């Protein structure tokens, strides 16, 4: 089982000193945890009412080079395919990412709104374009409680997706149901199941809870109550994540799903990095 660490790229306004500090802190975490296999860097954007992106953070590939040099770990970068102006533009980006940056693991992501018509290729089409290039390992996003998610991930698997990173998980049932249905349908359709990186992130304050909800994370009321009633919200969130991760693994083993499962710990905010480290040490595969 692999362990992925997902970290947010710094702001474009970050000074060289701030950038170096962030890289050093992450390198220290990776070394001290002793279990991280890869670092996943999401593409952070804001979208206006026309569906056009605003990039406030540095290029994921540039940050990836710095982190690879500091940690020696495999780098995974995300790209929102629908924001590309055309298929050739995406293809040029894919080629540059592999040739110039030496990054071959890419998560292709869709837009914020399913109702908006974007200029760029859909995730499924982007998968097809990327799969024509040798040596690329293509991933997508999975949101277990999203409507029609089973058909979405089956279509993405068929179009070339080799792994999924899930939305942050705070309960096990939606993920278990989806994985069971996915495993069954893959057998029926003679598809090789993609791997799933089950994602967890520490919660340190009510502000974090509100941020998670804004990201679209399914936040069960009983989980929120448990967190807010705890003496240490951060440590309680680590315990909850450990419970959910263990429940999903136990379910997968009991039902012999045959779907590769891995761990993804998200360090969304640098101030919660110590909790991300605690999470890695607590729920990392034994």
pLDDT in tens, 122-173: 999 999 999 999 999 999 999 999 999 999 999 999 999 999 999 999 999 9
Helix (H, G, I), strand (E, B) or coil at 139: strand
Overall average pLDDT of the 257-275 stretch: 90
Instruction: Give me the pLDDT at residue 267, please.
Output: 87
pLDDT higher than threshold 80 for residue 48: no
For 3-283, CATH number out of 3.40.140.10, 3.20.20.220, 3.10.580.10, 3.40.50.920 equals 3.20.20.220
Instruction: Give me the pLDDT at residue 113, please.
Output: 65
**pLDDT tens, 54-106?**
678 899 999 999 999 999 999 999 999 998 989 999 999 999 999 999 999 99
Overall average pLDDT of the 10-34 stretch: 92
Residue with tokens 């109550």: 225
User: Are the CB atoms for 144 and 150 separated by under 8 Å?
Assistant: no
C-alpha span between 117 and 232 (Å, rounded): 44
Task: Please give the sequence-ordered ranges of beta strands (E in DSSP) within the chain, or none if there are none.
Answer: 3-7, 38-41, 45-47, 53-55, 74-80, 105-109, 137-142, 163-168, 195-200, 261-267
What's the half-sphere exposure (Cβ side, CA atoms, 13 Å) at 20?
3
Average confidence score pLDDT of the chain: 92
Phi-psi map region of 102: left, alpha, beta (phi>0 left; psi -120 to 50 alpha):
left
pLDDT higher than threshold 80 for residue 286: no
The pTM for the full model equals 0.93
DSSP-derived letter for residue 261 is: E
């Amino acid at each position: 089982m692999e362990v992925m660490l997902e970290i947010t790229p710094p702001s474009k306004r970050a000074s060289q000193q701030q950038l170096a500090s962030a890289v050093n802190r992450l390198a220290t975490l990776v070394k001290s945890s002793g279990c991280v296999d890869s670092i996943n860097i999401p593409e952070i954007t804001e979208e206006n009412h026309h569906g056009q992106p605003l990039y406030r953070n540095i290029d994921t590939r540039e940050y990836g080079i710095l982190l690879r040099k500091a940690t020696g770990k495999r780098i995974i970068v995300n790209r929102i395919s629908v924001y590309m102006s055309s298929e050739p533009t995406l293809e040029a980006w894919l080629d540059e990412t592999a040739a110039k940056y030496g990054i071959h693991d890419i998560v292709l992501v869709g837009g914020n709104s399913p109702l908006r018509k974007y200029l760029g290729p859909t995730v499924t089409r982007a998968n097809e374009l990327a799969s024509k290039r040798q040596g690329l390992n293509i991933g997508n996003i999975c949101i277990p409680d999203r409507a029609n998610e089973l058909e979405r991930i089956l279509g993405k698997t068929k179009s070339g997706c080799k792994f999924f990173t899930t939305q942050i998980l705070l309960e096990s049932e939606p993920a278990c149901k989806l994985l069971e249905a996915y495993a069954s349908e893959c057998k029926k359709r003679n598809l090789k199941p993609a791997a799933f990186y089950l994602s967890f992130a520490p919660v340190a304050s009510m502000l974090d809870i509100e941020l998670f909800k804004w990201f679209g994370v399914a936040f069960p009321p009983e989980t929120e109550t448990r967190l807010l009633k705890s003496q240490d919200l951060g440590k309680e969130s680590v315990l909850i994540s450990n419970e959910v991760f263990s429940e999903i693994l136990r379910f997968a083993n009991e039902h012999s799903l045959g779907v590769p499962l891995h761990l993804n710990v998200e360090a969304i905010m640098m101030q919660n990095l110590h909790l991300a480290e605690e999470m890695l040490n607590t729920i990392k595969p034994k």
